[in-house]
Structure 1
Amino acid sequence: MIMFDALEQYGLLQHILSVDRFGRGVVNRTYLAKSKNETYILQLINNNIFKKPENVIKNIESLVPYFKGKDDFLMTKNLLDSLTGTKHVKAEETYWRMYKIKPHMKIFKKIVADEMMEEIGKAVGRFQKVLLDFNPKLLVNTIANYHDAPKLYQQLYKVINRDYEKAVPLFNETKFLEFQEAQFTLIPHLLKTKQVPLRVTHNNFRLSNMLFDENTYEVLGVIGLDAIMPGTLITDFGDAARYFCSTSREDETQLEFVHFNLDYYRLFVRGFLKETKDFITAAEIDNLVNGVKVVTLEHIIRFLTAHLDPKSVYPKEYKHQHWDRAKNQIQLYHDIDAHVKEMNIIIQEERRKL
């Protein structure tokens, strides 16, 4: 078994008593591994998504010297060395890493208390704070065009044109995207014209990548750095808000249950602004809500592309899951769009409290 090989390379195979998977991640897979006295996080890099996993490893390991003597919020000191002294190991054609975590650290499978949302917002902001002095240009783009919506949209239409008959049932979803096309250029334009600064972005804030204090719900560390790349904090804010403030899973098919939770959003914004208030720019603040909208559109494009493309690397659990996800995110987008004014007011209200 490949996982056994990875654990053996860390010298832990004989000591691990249980391994449980956390989350349903696409970017990576996260497992909680326990021995008699210790707890570990084991993460598998998805080499279907990351065609050059060596670049993922290079990005992560470039952060290790940066955090010497600094706030190690990205848990680089907790990365285990293998028996040969490497931070990552290769088992057959897969790549793995391990973290040793403290007893009071916990990964939650779901939001169990409202106050977690403010702590999640703080974590997204603190990620930016601790990396302010790290040059994002030192990082390799590990997923091409990740937040380039125009290019993602072009790719969708290439897939549609290859098999138009298969795309006919998706008329409503593709028509929806046509009406939103003017928004696709926002993020690339802001970066190209330098209206917002280039920053390090995480691109995968999920519960399975956050280590909480099990009593206070403070996020003590962020892991899952596979998709760390140069970008704008607008997309990290947008994706985290989109994901954590939704009232449903991404593949919920009863769309009447899909809403954007403004109470959660307020708590998230409060935490985020507490951590970023000293360095976030006016242009970034003005575009935070736009980031939520655009990143939601990006996910719709990705899900439709994955549904139509037989070569898609995005995993699915049943035939039409990606199509269901796209419809789910369209419903979420409509609810976000209906509350843009309130979302911007919340940002201004929370800023005044600081």
Structure 2
Amino acid sequence: MTYDLKEIFGYFTPEGTYLEGEPYGSGHIHDTFRVQTSESDKDNYILQRLNNKIFKDIPQLQNNIERVTVHLNKKLQLIPGSNLKRECLTLIPAKDGKSWIIDKDGNYWRMYIFISDHRSYNIVDNTDKAFEGGKAIGRFQAMLADMPGGPLAETIPKFHDIENRLETLNRKIKEDPAGRVASLTEEIKEYLSRSEEMKTILKLGRSGKIPLRITHNDTKFNNILLDENDKALCVIDLDTVMPGYVHYDFGDSIRTVTNTAAEDEKDLSKVEMNISLFEAYASGYLSETGKTLNEVEKEYLAFAPKLITYTIGVRFLTDYIDGNNYFKIHHPLHNLQRTRAQMKLVMSMERQYEEMQKIIRKLV
């Protein structure tokens, strides 16, 4: 579908004049466009058509992002040499003062300043990048630890709630809507045999031993921008910033940073966790959060990657049993392939778990 980007640009209050706009990035949720302005001394911008089928309350979503970016901006102002437009996302208000608009066709849109001269990576190929990624997420969490006001809204309820995910899996196993359960004996056994252990973080939270904090909840590495020297710059994609446990962010980062193969690798012999990248990321992360986290949070950091890798595996398995209705697939067995690859990564983490714990203890 085509949109009149110049008209939509005109609903907002940017500096500069619209020159041209084109699709930007590889995101699957929103439609994203980069807008170039005519003036060389003015910012360029990101326009996004927001997916209100996944995010059903756009004002609530935008309120979360407004609160987070305003707080981060205030924190950065206290750090000498900070570049506010590059180290934090900047929302551009619409002419009515809101941070979003609704076009004549009922589409929701928002606008950010485009962060120039950045680098982002889907694959982490050295420990320096892993360290900087950990530093970026750690700084993000640490800066938000004292954000005033009430809790942020849950933009996707129970997103990382493994008890909820397991309830859904067990229900789909009983229903067997696509007639696949009989062929999945081994996969179901591997996942369900670990189910009680994976409830550990939720139990620690309910007992008051770890607090709910503000977490990003989608910390794959390409949501971290590095500068032209591959130093930590900015954390992006704030749609899922909401209450959570720090282990969700740390775990998802390790899942994506340290995997020696693709998320959907068919050849399971290629799937391992790179312990050197784990140590580098953890070092960067704890360099920023060491004074923020309590002792129990630190103690269970090594467990976090197992939990989040397992959780996404449960979601892939559930979707495969259900007939592939949620995740985009490229072939009928794609979710099964993903399911097996995530379990192989969990097993690799289990084999290296004692070493992971030693690394965390050394760093704290």
TM-score by length of 1: 0.87
Which segments of 5 or more consecutive residues in structure 1 lack a partner in the other structure?
Answer: none
CA distance in 2, matches of 1:231, 1:305: 23
TM-superposed CA distance for 1:7, in Å, is 5.7
Q: What per-residue deviation string (whole Å, max 9, x for no partner) do you get for residues 310-333 of structure 1?
A: 483333333222221111101101
Q: Does residue 63 of structure 2 align to residue 58 of structure 1?
A: yes
Which residue matches 2:347?
334
Secondary structure at 1:283 match in 2: helix
Instruction: Within 5 Å, give how 1:99-114 maps onto structure 2.
Output: 99-111=112-124, 113-114=126-127
Change (3 A) 1:113 1:136: farther
Larger helix proportion, structure 1 or 2?
Answer: 1
Which residue matches 1:78?
90
Q: Does residue 205 of structure 2 align to residue 191 of structure 1?
A: yes
Change (3 A) 1:309 1:316: same
Q: Does residue 25 of structure 2 align to residue 21 of structure 1?
A: yes
Secondary structure at 1:200 match in 2: strand
- Report which stretch shifted further, 200-209 or 46-55: 46-55
CA distance in 1, matches of 2:30, 2:221: 13
Figure out how many residues of one structure are paired with residues of the other and give that number: 347
- Report which stretch shifted further, 314-323 or 269-278: 314-323
- Report which stretch shifted further, 44-53 or 148-157: 44-53
Q: Does residue 223 of structure 2 align to residue 209 of structure 1?
A: yes
Which residue matches 2:7?
8
TM-superposed CA distance for 1:258, in Å, is 0.9
The one-letter code of the counterpart of 1:232 is Y
Which residue matches 1:89?
101
CA distance in 1, matches of 2:140, 2:254: 15
Query: Contact conserved, 1:90 with 1:96, CA < 8 A, in 2?
Result: yes
CA distance in 1, matches of 2:142, 2:296: 17
Which residue matches 1:260?
273
Change (3 A) 1:285 1:77: closer
Q: Which has more radius of gyration?
A: 2
Query: Contact conserved, 2:47 with 2:109, CA < 8 A, in 1?
Result: yes
Instruction: Within 5 Å, give how 1:138-287 maps onto structure 2.
Output: 138-163=151-176, 165-215=179-229, 217-287=230-300
TM-superposed CA distance for 1:200, in Å, is 0.3
Secondary structure at 2:93 match in 1: coil
Query: Contact conserved, 1:49 with 1:314, CA < 8 A, in 2?
Result: no
CA distance in 2, matches of 1:32, 1:110: 23
Query: Contact conserved, 1:117 with 1:268, CA < 8 A, in 2?
Result: yes
Change (3 A) 1:307 1:15: farther
Q: What per-residue deviation string (whole Å, max 9, x for no partner) do you get for residues 265-323 of structure 1?
A: 11101100100111211101110111111111111111112223348333333322222
TM-superposed CA distance for 1:348, in Å, is 2.0
- Report which stretch shifted further, 205-214 or 335-344: 205-214
TM-superposed CA distance for 1:74, in Å, is 9.5
Percentage of matched positions with identical amino acids: 29
Change (3 A) 1:183 1:76: same
Which residue matches 1:69?
74
CA distance in 1, matches of 2:146, 2:6: 34
CA distance in 2, matches of 1:30, 1:253: 31
Which segments of 5 or more consecutive residues in structure 2 lack a partner in the other structure?
Answer: 77-83
Secondary structure at 2:303 match in 1: helix
TM-superposed CA distance for 1:112, in Å, is 5.3
The one-letter code of the counterpart of 1:15 is L
TM-superposed CA distance for 1:90, in Å, is 3.7
The one-letter code of the counterpart of 1:282 is E
